[in-house]
Amino acid sequence: MKIEIRYAKLEDAARLVEIYCYYVEKTAITFEYEVPAVEEFQQRMVHVMEKYPYLVAKVDDQIVGYAYAGTFNVRAAYDWCVETSIYVDHTLRKCGVGKRLYQALEKALKAQNHKVYILSYNENEVYFQAVKIAGSGLLTFVDGIFPTTSIKGDIPLDFSKCIFIDDKPKDLISIYQHQPFKIFRIRRKNDTYSEIETNLPIPEFASLDELQQNL
């Protein structure tokens, strides 16, 4: 099945509402009771498009899913966090549409000058992180590996344009204090950090495989 990804257009709204309708009427994940009218949905699209990517997936010239990034919280302290939303035609789930949309969304965020980094405890660990990334085939679009010990010195990074990924809450907390654009945490099997509560709005994945499936 050939999946094509492109930026959404306002004229796509009618089809997107059709996809969204199932999740409003048959699930609780949208927190909506009524399916929005096409005109209202278009207004929502415009609001998102002012700042974030809004993408659609097509198969045989038919829209089968969509994804976008949005504001996580209106409070100023959350300016460097986003949440992602994805909806796939319920008849085409587990066909790779969601994965392609997440991959494209991450790349679209990068196109807005955001950089993606894996965190490392120190400079000596960078090599091992690189080996792990290469071995897993994960995140082919990673821009680099960032040692958290570097934050004590002069950092040549614009954190507001950086996305960081790691499994260690303490490292993520140290990075979060510099207000990065986005942070992900990976909870590994037999997670030694499972008892550490970050109290931060950090999306989590249960494993490297789960993260890869959702990108």
CATH number of the domain where residue 59 is located: 3.40.630.30
Q: Are residues 24 and 76 in the same domain?
A: yes
Residue 88 has a pLDDT of 95
Q: Which of 111, 135, 165 is where one domain is finished? A: 111
Q: What 3-state DSSP class applies to 118? A: strand
Mark residue 179 as left, alpha or beta (left: phi above 0; alpha: psi -120 to 50; beta: remaining).
left
Claim to verify: residue 172 and residue 201 sit in the same structural domain? yes
Task: Verify that 149 and 192 share a domain, yes or no.
Answer: yes
Structural domain count of the chain:
2
Rounded to the nearest integer, the mean pLDDT of the chain is 78
Residues 99 and 141 both lie in one domain: no
pLDDT greater at residue 11 or residue 187: 11
Which of 63, 79, 111 delimits the end of a domain? 111
pLDDT at 39 over 80: yes
The domain in which residue 161 lies consists of: 115-213
CA pair distance 193, 27, nearest whole angstrom: 32
Spatial distance between the Cα atoms of 193 and 170, rounded to a whole number of angstroms: 9
**Are residues 53 and 122 located together in one domain of the fold?**
no
Q: The pTM is what?
A: 0.53
Do 28 and 96 fall into the same domain? yes
Q: Could you give the percent of the chain with pLDDT greater than 90?
A: 28
- In this prediction, residue 26 carries a pLDDT of 94
Q: Under a CB-based contact definition with an 8 Å cutoff, are residues 5 and 55 in contact?
A: yes
Q: What is the spatial distance between Cα 143 and Cα 146, in angstroms, rounded to a whole number?
A: 10
Per-residue confidence (pLDDT) for residue 151, from 0 to 100: 67
- Taking the C-alpha atoms of residue 65 and residue 88, their distance in angstroms, rounded to an integer, is 4
136 has a pLDDT exceeding 70: no
Same domain? For 29 and 57 the reply is yes
Residues 122, 66 within the same domain: no
Name the domain boundary from 77, 111, 145: 111
Alpha-helix residue ranges (DSSP H) falling in the chain: 13-26, 38-49, 97-111, 126-136, 169-176, 208-213
Higher-confidence residue of 71 and 27: namely 27
**Phi/psi of residue 58, nearest 5 degrees:** -125, 140
Same domain, 82 and 123: no
Q: Is there a single domain that holds both residue 77 and residue 52?
A: yes
Tokens of 168: 């260690």
Task: Note whether 133 and 101 are same-domain residues.
Answer: no
Residues 65, 159 share a domain: no
Q: How far apart are CA 158 and CA 143, in angstroms?
A: 14
